[in-house]
A and B are shown apart, each in its own frame.
Chain A
Amino acid sequence: METTREIFWNVGNVALLVYLLAAVVVFIFIYAFIQRIKLWKIGKEEKRKDQIWERIKSVLVFGFGHKRLLTEPYPGISHFLLFWGFVILLLGTIIIFLQEDILSPIFNLFFLHGNFYLWFSLILDLFGLLAIIGVLLALYRRYILKPERLDNVFDDAFSLILILLILVTGFLTEGARIAFTRPDFERWSFAGWQIALILNPSWTESESLLIWHRFFWWVHLGLAFLFIGYLAYSKLLHIFSSSLSVFFRSFEPKGKLDPILDMENQETFGVSKAEEFTWRQLLDADACTRCGRCQDNCPAHLSEKPLSPKKLIQDLKTNLLLSAKALQKENPDEQRKNLIGESISEDELWACTTCLACQESCPVFVEQVQKVVDLRRYLVLMEAKFPQEITPMFKNLETNYNPWAFGFASRGDWAKDLEVKLLSEDKNVDILFWVGCSGSYDDRNKKVSQALVKILRAANINFGILGQEEKCCGEPARRMGNEYLGQMLIQENIEILKNYGVKKILFACPHGYNTFKNEYPQFGGEYQVYHHTDFILDLIQSGKIKITKKIDENITYHDSCYLGRYNDIYDSPREILKRILEGKIKEMERRREKSFCCGAGGGRMWMEENLGKRINQLRVKQAQETEAKTIASACPYCLTMLSDGIKEIGLEEKLEVNDIAELVASLL
């Protein structure tokens, strides 16, 4: 007997019918998918079509390669098995189609036989089986383990069961065929062979097997077609939408907010309707698979605030679908829901610390933070609606260029006794130390500025400050949605820096650092910027400062969001600690990419925290678990929040926070 099989064996002359049906379901899918693309396109233009090769690479690495999905083993592996099982089975089906309907009839080419057939059968069975394991793992996780981050709707169960049934009926069909035909080489289809043994224990010819086979075959085919037709109307769409999302991901610096350009001539600002987002932002709504990873890392959600980044995206989706109907005139306008207020609450928007944990953990590159800021922009710029405690903060920024009620003229006072060079007196410096609002005005953070001065002096660096000419970098205002105020401050700072011809700037504050590095260029301000952790490490490594003593203690390090996730500076602070510690770095569970925000970002520093638990206290408790006595930080916000947290819990005797600069300076 020839080592191959007949494709439409036992089902009669149905090829034409099958392909006709296939054409119908594929048409349904394509139609629905085009509708979906139209839906995304009601959004505004956004440029995401450059760097095609990089984009393709992203799809290969993050889509096919599951790079982000696999950071969590259980769900990662389960999805990996399911995904690759399906890909291989699909390839198998395509190969069969090519063989049967193109190569064989047209070119008289026949390759699906002999050894190729054997390996083909083996691989298909193997991956089919792996896919089944993947589905079973997913079902077990979703319905038995029930992790908090998953919410279950009908679609989830239906999709998984549908896939499982397709796989199982595939094997049953194969089993029934082998059971009837019983060729020895089919042992290579090892799974089908086992099923055949069950279906036909006596291993004799039995007519009923033909009926069973026909039955399984049709069910398998029907389910597969149902799958294709159902694709674009269900979560299964993510196979395409999520791939597109990965393809169209941002290659801009992670920490950058898109500016509102030409503000003087705009009528509306920010986003209050779904269609005011860009097409890329709307694509996110369909790309999100509700996997809940973002939510699992969201400090707002974990501290029991109303915000969940997953819910935010899903609420946007619901709103988008309603809006689309109204826009396409299927529904009257009244049936739309307000995006802000009805679909997404103001409390949710103000709860976000812009910590970026959601985006860093999202396997399909959904971008939450820009959306939150876009919606905040609408509230602040159009409606002047925000938690009332922010009003004085905005006003202070306007009149005194700092978020607190301190006069602008006293900005340089922290350095009075240190005789730090002011650029207004002598602009010949190698680097400008940008002190920032906290470093200038906050008593605790003034000590960090002073420590940094001590280090710079020890290393003989020729540096200066702007003193009262320095203004808030604009970061908090921008992240709170006050783009107007933010841009005003940015432009005024750029003007001053231009006057002095400043090129290099050193920051102790990651927020200032991020804004200068990633956002000032949007407004024409290009500088070489350094965060003090990179800078100090370099001073140590180059021998410009010598560490002769060491700190005999175990210390834990808290990653600042704007240093870590925003700018990928994870190692420098740790390298510094390694060089100055006698003891060890006691890492917290949530660290580096998964670090837990201190609670101050996105303007939260100036808002009351009335809902849920206090984020800073949660973080302090995580630090406490390491049994270290000192938390090292590298951000003024973190320093303030964690110090407060320690006081609030009453751990002053057991735990303290110090900036890395202070730790280093204490050894000089």
Chain B
Amino acid sequence: MNIIICIKQVPDTETKIQIKPDSSGIVTEGIKYVVNPYDEYAVEEGVKIKEKFGGEVTVISLGPERAKEAIRTCLAVGADKGIHLNDPAFEGSDSYATAKILAKAISQIPFDIVLTGKQGVDFDNSQVFAYLSRFLDIPFVSVVVGLELSSDLKSATAKREGEGGDKEIIQVQLPAIIAAQKDLNQPRYASLPGIMKAKKKEIKNLSLSDLGLSPDEVGLKGSRVKIENYSQPPERKAGRIIEGEEPAEVCEKLVKLLREEAKII
């Protein structure tokens, strides 16, 4: 079983995001980066598949030099190898360009299943796995909360979260892309020997030329989405508690406020 996991390094979810004065991006100073939380479920699932069926888990990440840390974190919990798609030319890639680069890298190695998180918690686009499915020409199942591989390893049964809390059970031929939702499993914590071993595991650097892509296909040029500027969401006003003796009285006040102040009814 050749298991590929696509991960992304993202700012820690507790980061207070600040916008650069010229609105061209966010202030990256003082940000702690972590493995995208949804990707952690993908990693755990990959390692569990390996433990059950044997094989090799390869973690792929696209990002600047610091993304190596994220790859190491995954190696510490049981992934075997890392591939770091690392080239200044990749900077500014949108989901489309990112998927293209990933697809190129993945198609060069044997793979039976590709796992990733259902979205990155930084831009929350939730598009890479879909593009990737198109580029690799294999099916994908997203928002997966349960995964079962058939014993011949030819297909998988995925449970996905539908709208309104319904569950869909989907049978899919392998190779396929599985995008993990948070209840898929319980990501493990790295053991110390795991952390130590991870320091010695191989992380392969692949650049634009290694992949055989042209500069026009990646980065801003290869992207279809361009971010014009960044701004903070409007600050949310504090909630208000409407006081009153009787429920009826409270309701009356509420209706009045909704009509006169909020002007929504």
Residues in A neighbouring B15, C-beta threshold 8 A: 407, 409
Q: How far is the CA of A399 from the CA of B30 in the complex (A)?
A: 12
Asked if B165 is at the interface of the complex by the 8 Å CB criterion, the answer is no
- Does the CB pair A399–B193 fall under 8 Å? no
- B32's partner among A386, A394, A399, A410 (CB-CB below 8 A) is A399
| A412-438 near B? 1/0 per residue, CB < 8 Å | 000000000000000000000000000
Asked if A264 is at the interface of the complex by the 8 Å CB criterion, the answer is yes
Complex interface: stretch among A344-352, A362-370, A377-385, A528-536? A377-385
Asked if B250 is at the interface of the complex by the 8 Å CB criterion, the answer is no
- Does the CB pair A407–B34 fall under 8 Å? no
- Does the CB pair B14–A407 fall under 8 Å? yes
In the complex, residue of chain A having the shortest beta-carbon distance to the beta carbon of B32: A399
Q: How far is the CA of A555 from the CA of B34 in the complex (A)?
A: 47
B15, B188, B192, B194: most-surrounded residue (chain A CB, <10 A) = B192
Residues in B neighbouring A381, C-beta threshold 8 A: 191-193
- B190's partner among A267, A384, A407 (CB-CB below 8 A) is A384
Asked if A405 is at the interface of the complex by the 8 Å CB criterion, the answer is yes
- Does the CB pair B192–A484 fall under 8 Å? yes
- Smallest beta-carbon distance B191→chain A, Å: 4
- Smallest beta-carbon distance A396→chain B, Å: 8
Residues in A neighbouring B189, C-beta threshold 8 A: 380, 384, 386, 391, 394-395
In the complex, residue of chain A having the shortest beta-carbon distance to the beta carbon of B18: A409
Residues in A neighbouring B194, C-beta threshold 8 A: 384
Q: How far is the CA of A405 from the CA of B192 in the complex (A)?
A: 23
How many residues of B are counted as interface, with CB atoms below 8 angstroms from the partner's CB atoms? 19
- A221-265 contacts to B (CB < 8 Å): 263-264
Q: How far is the CA of A406 from the CA of B188 in the complex (A)?
A: 22
B13, B14, B30: most-surrounded residue (chain A CB, <10 A) = B14
In the complex, residue of chain A having the shortest beta-carbon distance to the beta carbon of B33: A399
A267, A394, A395, A406: most-surrounded residue (chain B CB, <10 A) = A395
Given the interface pairs A264-B196, A407-B15, the reply to whether A384 lies near B191 with Cβ below 8 Å is yes
Q: How far is the CA of A394 from the CA of B190 in the complex (A)?
A: 11
How many residues of A are counted as interface, with CB atoms below 8 angstroms from the partner's CB atoms? 23
- B21-71 contacts to A (CB < 8 Å): 30, 32, 34
- B12's partner among A383, A399, A410 (CB-CB below 8 A) is A399
- B221-259 contacts to A (CB < 8 Å): none
In the complex, residue of chain B having the shortest beta-carbon distance to the beta carbon of A270: B192
Q: How far is the CA of A409 from the CA of B18 in the complex (A)?
A: 12
- Does the CB pair B14–A405 fall under 8 Å? yes
Give the secondary structure class of B's interface.
Answer: loop
Asked if B186 is at the interface of the complex by the 8 Å CB criterion, the answer is yes
Given the interface pairs A264-B196, A399-B34, A400-B32, the reply to whether A409 lies near B16 with Cβ below 8 Å is yes
Residues in B neighbouring A394, C-beta threshold 8 A: 189
Residues in A neighbouring B186, C-beta threshold 8 A: 388, 391
- Does the CB pair A410–B191 fall under 8 Å? no
Given the interface pairs A388-B186, A399-B32, A408-B32, the reply to whether A382 lies near B14 with Cβ below 8 Å is no
In the complex, residue of chain B having the shortest beta-carbon distance to the beta carbon of A260: B192
- Does the CB pair B32–A383 fall under 8 Å? no
- Does the CB pair A269–B192 fall under 8 Å? yes
| B61-89 near A? 1/0 per residue, CB < 8 Å | 00000000000000000000000000000
Asked if B195 is at the interface of the complex by the 8 Å CB criterion, the answer is yes
Given the interface pairs A399-B34, A408-B32, the reply to whether A484 lies near B195 with Cβ below 8 Å is yes
In the complex, residue of chain B having the shortest beta-carbon distance to the beta carbon of A269: B192
- Smallest beta-carbon distance A468→chain B, Å: 9
Given the interface pairs A264-B196, A388-B186, A408-B32, the reply to whether A400 lies near B14 with Cβ below 8 Å is yes
- B183-205 contacts to A (CB < 8 Å): 186-196
- Smallest beta-carbon distance A268→chain B, Å: 8
Q: How far is the CA of A408 from the CA of B34 in the complex (A)?
A: 14
- Smallest beta-carbon distance A6→chain B, Å: 72
- Smallest beta-carbon distance A408→chain B, Å: 7
- Does the CB pair B192–A407 fall under 8 Å? no
- Smallest beta-carbon distance A115→chain B, Å: 72
Q: How far is the CA of A547 from the CA of B222 in the complex (A)?
A: 72
Given the interface pairs A382-B191, A384-B188, A399-B32, the reply to whether A407 lies near B16 with Cβ below 8 Å is yes
In the complex, residue of chain A having the shortest beta-carbon distance to the beta carbon of B37: A395
Residues in B neighbouring A405, C-beta threshold 8 A: 13-14
Q: How far is the CA of A381 from the CA of B189 in the complex (A)?
A: 9
Residues in A neighbouring B195, C-beta threshold 8 A: 484
- A263's partner among B14, B16, B187, B192 (CB-CB below 8 A) is B192
- Does the CB pair B32–A382 fall under 8 Å? no
- Does the CB pair B196–A382 fall under 8 Å? no
- A406's partner among B14, B187, B191 (CB-CB below 8 A) is B14
Residues in B neighbouring A384, C-beta threshold 8 A: 188-191, 194
Residues in B neighbouring A263, C-beta threshold 8 A: 192
Residues in A neighbouring B188, C-beta threshold 8 A: 384
In the complex, residue of chain B having the shortest beta-carbon distance to the beta carbon of A401: B32
9 A–B pairs (Cβ distance < 8 Å), ordered by A = A269-B192, A382-B191, A386-B189, A395-B189, A399-B34, A400-B12, A400-B32, A407-B12, A409-B16
Tell me the B residues contacting A by CB distance below 8 Å.
12-16, 30, 32, 34, 186-196
| 18 further interface pairs, Cβ-Cβ under 8 Å (given A391-B189, A400-B12, A408-B14) | A263-B192, A267-B193, A381-B191, A381-B192, A382-B191, A383-B191, A384-B189, A384-B190, A384-B191, A386-B189, A391-B186, A407-B15, A408-B32, A409-B15, A409-B16, A409-B30, A410-B16, A484-B192
